[in-house]
């Protein structure tokens, strides 16, 4: 099936949101925690309590990734109703994800081995416990190689070499949740009963995003009556709700929510459902924003333009290597600059340099690692089945 450019563009923006999220954790932890004790500016506390934090709300971005995966992975099946598409996708899924992810882990191992990470020293200046919580162990090639498999099959392993790869477990297992559902129930008329059962089973987990991405794909392909709700007013409401819910603070500490609009979103009935509020609202926002992009012609046109297509192409590469790049490039520049210039100026310069370097490296990674990984997965499928 042809790639859906505007959804690729949305994925690219979500990847940038994750980069910005980790950047704020590095330099301005109060913007994430709402804690005055780690504040470096009057603006970081302000951002933590307003809708503007959506720009760097990384958990919301991850939820967008998962909803998009559920939609895209099921789109071909619902369009042509051919189970052979599932065989192809399932066989190719592991090598397609494993090769780029494994290379990013080995890259992080090499940077650790040659003492290129400066996050521990920088954390003492930025007061970021998050920043100082990683890469404080002795690197081992065997352990790093083991991590390339562990990251796909467990969430409990220690000594993360690429801390962003906690999501690859959900991406991989969530993909096979989609494939399994489609293979068994995809052509069953009353599959909505199974959807409901699975929603109950996976309530308050990231798998809910995959399920709803698949449901959106099913609705769009098989229920034309859904189109009658495609009005300007409905799209406006959907977008506003997505932005409000998507900016719900990731940390549910007293500092993060106290005195904000978001404390009023902790409805008592949600307690009965035993939900993590941030996870519930980010899931809801991710579903709404994907729904908006499915029906907004203006959004589709904008996110199908060349800059967004480029960003979508390198989005997986950005996600995979942004931690090794940020942790190795930004700290040495920042720790030197902050001794002679204002904190905010040191942040702007060090982040600007590291961000440009990240985009260049991500493009190279896309050409040399990610794209060949896609081609290898297709080659492997053809060798096995054709």
d(CA 266, CA 244): 14
Query: In this prediction, what percent of the chain has a pLDDT beyond 70?
Result: 96
For helices 306-313 and 5-27, the axis angle rounded to 10 degrees is: 70
Helices 84-113 and 58-80, interaxial angle, to 10°?
A: 150
pLDDT tens readout for residues 75-134: 999 988 888 889 989 999 999 999 999 999 999 999 999 999 999 999 999 999 999 999
Residue 385 has pLDDT above 60, yes or no: yes
pTM value is: 0.94
Nearest to 212 by CA among 196, 223, 236: 196
Q: Dig out the tokens for 167 from the structure.
A: 């999501």
pLDDT at 254 over 60: no
Mean pLDDT, residues 41-55 taken together:
88
The answer to whether 160 and 166 have CB atoms below 8 angstroms apart is yes
Residue 50, pLDDT score: 87
Interatomic CA distance for residues 99 and 106, integer angstroms:
11
């Amino acid at each position: 099936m042809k790639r859906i450019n505007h959804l690729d563009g949305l994925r690219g923006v979500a990847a940038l949101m994750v980069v910005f999220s980790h950047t704020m954790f590095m330099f301005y932890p109060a913007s994430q925690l709402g804690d005055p004790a780690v504040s470096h500016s009057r603006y970081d506390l302000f951002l933590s309590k307003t809708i503007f934090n959506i720009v760097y709300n990384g958990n919301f971005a991850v939820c967008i990734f998962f909803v998009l995966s559920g939609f895209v992975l099921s789109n071909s099946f619902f369009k042509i109703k051919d189970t052979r598409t599932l065989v192809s996708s399932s066989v190719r899924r592991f090598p397609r994800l494993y090769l780029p992810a494994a290379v990013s882990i080995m890259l992080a191992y090499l940077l650790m081995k040659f003492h290129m990470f400066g996050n521990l020293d920088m954390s003492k200046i930025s007061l970021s416990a998050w920043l100082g919580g990683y890469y404080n162990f002795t690197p081992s090639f065997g352990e790093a190689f083991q991590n390339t498999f562990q990251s796909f099959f467990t969430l409990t392993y220690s000594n993360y070499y690429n801390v962003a790869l906690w999501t690859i477990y959900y991406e991989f297992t969530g993909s096979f949740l989609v494939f399994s559902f489609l293979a068994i129930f995809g052509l069953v008329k009353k599959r909505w009963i199974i959807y409901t059962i699975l929603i109950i089973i996976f309530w308050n987990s990231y798998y809910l995003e995959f399920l709803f991405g698949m449901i959106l794909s099913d609705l769009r392909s098989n229920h034309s009556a859904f189109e009658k709700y495609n009005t300007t007013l409905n799209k406006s409401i959907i977008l506003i709700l997505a932005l409000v819910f998507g900016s719900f603070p990731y940390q549910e500490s007293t500092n993060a929510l106290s005195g904000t609009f978001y404390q009023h979103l902790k409805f008592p009935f949600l307690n009965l459902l035993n939900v993590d509020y941030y996870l519930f609202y980010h899931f809801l926002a991710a579903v709404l924003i994907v729904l908006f992009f499915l029906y907004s012609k203006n959004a589709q046109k904008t996110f199908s333009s060349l800059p967004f297509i480029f960003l979508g192409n390198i989005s997986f590469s950005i996600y995979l290597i942004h931690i090794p790049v940020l942790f190795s490039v930004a700290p040495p520049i920042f720790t030197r600059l902050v001794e002679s210039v204002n904190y905010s100026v040191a942040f702007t310069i060090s982040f600007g340099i590291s961000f440009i370097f990240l985009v260049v490296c991500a493009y190279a990674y896309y050409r040399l690692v990610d794209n060949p990984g896609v081609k290898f997965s297709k080659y492997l499928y053809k060798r096995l089945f054709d």
